[in-house]
Structure 1
Amino acid sequence: MDLFSVLQTYRDILIVIAATLSILAYIAYTNWDAVSLWWKGFKYHNFLFSKLRSLAKNPDTAGRWFHSETVVCQDYGELYSQIHKDGDYYESSKKYLSIVGESGRKPLGTLLMLGLFAVLVLEAWGFSYTMAGFIDLSASENTRVTMTWIVAIAFAVILAFLTHMMGHELYRNGILGRIRNNWQVDDTESRPRTLDDIDFDYEIDNFTDENGPKYKQRLNRLDVNSPRKKHTFTIGALVAIIAIGIIITFVRVKTLEVAQTQDAMCQPSSATSNAALTSLDDLYSSTPPPPLESQKVSAEAVGKGESEICQATKEGSWATFGMLAILFIVLQAFATWVSFKFGFVGKHSKSAWKNTHKFNTKNQYEAAMDAKSKRISQRAQKTLGDLQSRMAKVLIDSTMNSSVSDLLKKASDRTFLRYVEQESEQSLSSRNRQTQTMLEREREHSDIISKSTSQVTADEFKAVSSNSRIEQPTDEEIESQILTETKEQSLSDEELEKQILAEAQAKKQETPEEQRARVLEKLKAEGKL
């Protein structure tokens, strides 16, 4: 029995199984947090391969905790940290969506995606049925139907993927275009030199770049490698859609030609040959046949009617092919529009949307998160308590280590929430140490830069001072120059001259203009001018 026979025989059963699995997958996807929590409990508490059974036999310690206890706490703590968020995280999620520009967007829902895929499958089934006849000319009708479904699903998957990627690419290119336009009209002195320098991945609650331009903040949070537009999927999808449309129309035309070739009415000589044939009744009838002219007129009328029927069939088929081609293009455009209007391009926009779309206020979010985190902590504490009870029964008589015995006696002090608190304190201290180390490195770097700058400035000042002493004229030269210009002589005041010279000696450096003005004042005071 070949594959097609098996699929045809068990087709109804396979359809029911596929539909059931699809429904279960959808339910699990929409309630993934509850499913994850149930699966963790199933791993630890099932009676066949319970994980608690193996963990209870491990006496290894990690500080003030058993290694087995930390395994349980870490396993539940991963899910607890994802749920246990405060109201500030809700506000950060809304701000994140606002920066990316996706506050009003929604993801492509599962029901919408399945509905669109079903429409694509039905649309592809029509031309796949036509193509199936050429895949295997000797195939039966059941085999042809089975091949039609396989080809239709394959076409639907390819077209759904290409149109989705094209719509997403067009949406992303639109955002990148707005970012580049804002960058170009920004102040040339304060804007970034280039947009190619994309910063590291900013988490939802990380706004350390809030002092930068808005378009740069948006670019830092996009799921792109570079700010350049790409048209790979757009070109590929258009080429595929045009190629598929042309090929399908060609196959339909050839199918029409085959049908008309097999129809005797549409053969040019069929009317004449049919008119020339006579029945046995006509041969043995005593009634004389009609005149040849009447037979010729009748044959021409029949041939004309049959040719008009074939021509109308051909023209109607061409009109149908054109309408199907238009429908095919419109459906692909609709699939592209859906992908353009739904979905996110921000790295964490979908997570931020999940944190905000069900809650109108910050208090609603906090209440919901508290309820979920409380349920997780209760499940985790129950699992941890079961583990501690098992370890007390297994290790109390087999261990000779006093530290293990002390930990077994103080099991009530080690709770899941206590473990989460310790992890939070360690994480906070680690971040503080990293921040302090970074600040110290920046301070050391700043000190090195300032010292080198001070050294260079001192050396330049010395060089300038020495050059100025070499090139700058003396007081006597300027004094004689002024006296020569005025051509006037007068008596000197020796005491005033000594005082002015003492002030000149006290000055370390002065410009040539200041020196000339000082000597001029001295000469006026001496009465020489």
Structure 2
Amino acid sequence: MIEFLEDFLVTQRLLISIILLSLITAVIIMKYWDRVKFWWTCTWYSFPVIGKISKLSKDITSVDEKGWFSSETTLCSDFHRYYDRFDKDPEHYDRCKSYLSKADELGRKPFPLIMWIVVFALVILEALGFAYVLAGFTIPGASESLQQYGAFGIALIISIILVGFTHWTGHEVYKNSILKKIRTYYSNDRREDKKNLEPDSKVKLENNNIDDEEKNYSQLLNRVSTNATVTPTWIVSIVTAIFVVVIAIGATYVRGQVLEKQLTEEKSMTQTNVYEQSLPTSLIQTQENADTKAFDEAQDSDRKGGWATFIVLAVLFVFIQLLGILFGFKWGFVGKESQIAFEDSSDFRTKQDFINYFKREKDNIVKIAEQKLKLLQQKMYQKGTMISTSAKEMEMLKTKDYRTFKEYVKNEARENLNFHNDIEKTKEQVYVKSEIKKDEPKVEIVKSSTILCKNCNSNLDENSNFCTSCGTEVKKETLACKNCNATLDENSNFCNSCGEKVVLKDLIPTCPECKTTYAIDIQYCSKDGKKLELV
């Protein structure tokens, strides 16, 4: 295997260098993705001829309702996305710390950059080991160089899949430990009126304090994605375990077959008679038997040593995968917004450091955005002087000083504030209407022991069907206004005296014995077994 690795490293030096550089570049881009995006936005805007400023400067006719050119709004909107990322108030630092504390992840860290390098190094080593095993079986009949390329490619794919699954498994194990902790806290809560294990979807990083009065298991559950039963799942772990075992056994088996092939080839090469034909036959036979026995013993030792080595390599392979699972368990977050909370608060010792950092970042973005906006406005003005434009558009091109990126930020802040105020007003109006509806007088059906004739106002027995004085048909039930107690016609929609709206009272299943009320679909009382009546 050492000779294979040496030969592979020498002949495939360029390929290995490209792969390593690609992996390192990918890790760096992942680490600083936001800064890479901002750099690309600035670069793309500044590109000559095909850049975005060159394209936007051609549109000097589109004006929005705020009195800004659409090109200016587009530029400011693109840079405002990055500005908004750093537009944090001082209390945001406290919210981040509190969020991590409630998610039980305060002090936890994301996967370190140095560990990504270690993981990728392990990937390459695993790929080289698999390539040696698979070299003779990947592309039968191909040249040795092509077989090495194919073996390394397949081995690299297997290694990357293993890294992904082991890391995902570690994350799953850590998440299951959090769910187990929630269950333990919940079972230790002995209150009879404790709530069910249901997450509050309204809990976010920005309104982190709305569950301050809740129990620790509720706070933890509100910040972790889980299934409906709040129980651990082991699907990824099982799939990973099966995959690792299959690869370990398969690699060991292939290594064993390669060893047996080599031993067979060695034995076939020793079948020729190396002794003089003039020697006595008995002496030649004795010598050959001795040589065969020695050769078989040597091959047997090689076979046992080889298989022992392969088993050790398989165990080592399994432990490397366990190391990957440990990495996934030790680093990373399961909280819905824990990663954001960590990024916004981890690099600062105090709140003042937090304030100073975000102010610097905002000022830097404002400076760059103002430069790009001024360049765009200059190009638009030059374009306007070269072609015929309306007087209004020309006046806007000249009076551009008030249209700055800072002014755009202020306008966006005002719009967001007005939007949230409108939402709050709508919620308040709905709440007030519901309260008014609860308190408004209602007219309900009232049963009376005596019946009043509507035609002649004579008092009649409650069992009477017709008036004994005038012969008018008697109505068994009358409507009485709850506000003024006026008697109303059964078809009345409004009270004739006070004008209140008539609302028929809903009949509720009620026990005639203990007067306990129940839901509409219940038929018998749970206390005394009496059949319920609609009252």
TM-score above 0.5? yes
Match of 2:220 among 214, 218, 236: 218
1:198–1:353 Cα change, 3 Å: same
Q: Using a 3 Å threshold, how does the CA distance of structure 1 residues 434 and 318 change in structure 2: closer, same or farther?
A: same
Contact in 1 for aligned 2:169/2:237 (Cα 8 Å): yes
Mapping for residues 350-361 of structure 1, pairs under 5 Å: 350-361=339-350
Classify 1:138/1:400 alpha carbon distance in 2 versus 1 (closer, same or farther; 3 Å): closer
Q: Any conservation in 1 of the 2:203–2:223 contact (CA below 8 Å)?
A: yes
Say if 2:174 is the partner of 1:171: yes
Runs of 4+ in structure 1 over 6 Å off: 7-10
RMSD (Å) for aligned C-alpha atoms = 3.1
In 2: Cα distance, 1:376 partner to 1:253 partner: 62
Structure with more contact order per residue of length (Cα contacts < 8 Å, sep ≥ 6): 1
Number of the residue aligned with 1:483: none
Q: How does 1:167-316 map to 2 (within 5 A)?
A: 167-195=170-198, 197-200=199-202, 202-226=204-228, 227-264=230-267, 274=273, 278-280=275-277, 282=278, 289=280, 292=282, 298-316=287-305
Q: Which has the larger radius of gyration?
A: 1
Deviation, 1:300, is: 4.2
Change (3 A) 1:10 1:401: farther
C-alpha contact 1:266 1:306 (8 A) present in aligned 2:
no
The equivalent position to 1:439 in structure 2, one of 414, 428, 450, is 428
Distance verdict in 2 for CA 1:191–1:170, change over 3 Å: same
Corresponding position of 1:485: none
Aligned-residue offset at 1:201: 6.0
Give, in whole Å, the separation in 1 of the partners of 2:221 and 2:368: 41
- Is 2:139 the partner of 1:150? no
Q: CA deviation at 1:392?
A: 2.6
Distance 1:426 1:459, change over 3 A: farther
Change (3 A) 1:194 1:451: farther
Per the TM alignment, residue 295 of structure 1 is displaced from its structure 2 partner at its CA by: 5.4
Go from structure 1 to structure 2 and tell me whether the alpha carbon gap of 1:19 and 1:335 turns closer, same or farther (over 3 Å shift).
closer
Q: Deviations over 1:394-440 (max 9, x none)?
A: 33575664543443343112221111112111111210110121122
The alpha-carbon distance between structure 1 residues 205 and 21, as it changes in their structure 2 partners (threshold 3 A), is: farther
Q: CA deviation at 1:213?
A: 2.3
After superposition, what is the alpha-carbon deviation per residue over 1:228-269, rounded to whole angstroms, capped at 9, x for unaligned? 3211111100111111112122222222222222222899xx
Task: Report what 2:49 is aligned to.
Answer: 48
Correspondences of 1:6-405 after superposition (within 5 Å):
11-56=12-57, 57-62=59-64, 63-195=66-198, 197-200=199-202, 202-226=204-228, 227-264=230-267, 274=273, 278-280=275-277, 282=278, 289=280, 292=282, 298-395=287-384, 398=387, 401-405=390-394
Given that residues 176 and 232 in structure 2 are in contact (C-alpha distance below 8 angstroms), is that contact kept between their aligned partners in structure 1?
Answer: yes
> Following the alignment from structure 1 to structure 2, what is the Cα–Cα distance between the partners of residues 10 and 278?
42
How far the C-alpha of 1:325 sits from its partner, in A, is 1.3
TM-score of the two chains, using structure 2 as the length reference: 0.74
**Consecutive unaligned residues in structure 2, runs of 5 or more:** 1-7, 450-535
In the superposition, relative to structure 1, how do residues 311 and 398 fare at CA in structure 2: closer, same or farther (>3 Å)? closer
> 1:354 Cα deviation (Å)?
1.2
| Pair 1:430 & 2:427 matched | no
Per mean C-alpha deviation after superposition, the further-off stretch among 370-379 and 59-68 is: 59-68
Contact 1:90-1:362 within 8 A present in 2 as well: yes
One-letter amino acid of the counterpart of residue 116, structure 1: V
How many angstroms apart in 2 are the aligned matches of 1:106 and 1:402?
A: 59
Distance 2:218 2:446 in 1: 41
Q: How many residues align?
A: 439
Q: 1:12 to 1:257 in 2, by over 3 A?
A: closer
Structure 2 distance, partners of 1:436, 1:15, is: 63
Aligned counterparts of 2:142 and 2:249: Cα–Cα separation in 1: 25
CA distance in 2, matches of 1:46, 1:390: 14
Q: Report how far residue 368 of structure 1 moved.
A: 1.1
- Matched to 1:434, the amino acid is I
Contact 2:23 2:120 in 1 (8 A): no
The CA deviation at 1:120 is: 3.1
Q: Is the 8 A contact 2:373 2:405 kept in 1?
A: yes
Match of 1:414 in 2: 403
How many Å separate the matches in 2 of 1:248 and 1:10? Answer: 24
Paired residues of 2:130 and 2:152 also in contact (CA < 8 A): no
> Could you tell me which amino acid in structure 2 is paired with residue 157 of structure 1?
I
> Structure 1 stretch 197-206 or stretch 369-378: which is displaced more?
197-206
Amino acid at match of 2:125: L
What percent identity do the matched residue pairs reach? Answer: 29
Structure 2: how far apart are the matches of 1:400 and 1:87? 47
Structure 1 distance, partners of 2:287, 2:24, is 66
Is the 2:31–2:113 Cα contact (8 Å) retained in structure 1? no
Task: Work out whether residues 122 and 152 of structure 1, in 8 Å CA contact, stay in contact via their aligned partners in 2.
Answer: no
Q: Which residue of structure 2 lines up, in the alignment, with residue 448 of structure 1?
A: 437
Structure 1 residue runs of 5 or longer lacking an equivalent are: 1-6, 284-288, 464-529
On the 8 A contact 1:165/1:339 being kept in 2, the answer is yes
**CA separation in 2, counterparts of 1:378 and 1:87?**
22
The alignment partner of 2:210 has SS state of: coil
CA contact (8 A) 1:176 1:229 kept: yes
Partners of 1:97 and 1:353 within 8 A in 2: yes
The 3-state SS of whatever aligns with 1:222 is coil
CA shift in 2, pair 1:416/1:255, >3 Å: same
> Helix, strand or coil for the counterpart of 1:221?
coil
Q: What is the deviation of 1:376? A: 0.5
CA distance in 1 between counterparts of 2:248 and 2:356 reads 54
Shift of 1:149: 1.1
Letter in 1 for 2:266: D
AA at the equivalent of 2:276:
S
Q: 1:239 to 1:32 in 2, by over 3 A?
A: closer
SS in 2 for 1:412: coil
**Partner in structure 2 of residue 521 of structure 1:** none
Q: 1:397 and 1:261 mapped to 2: Cα distance? A: 87
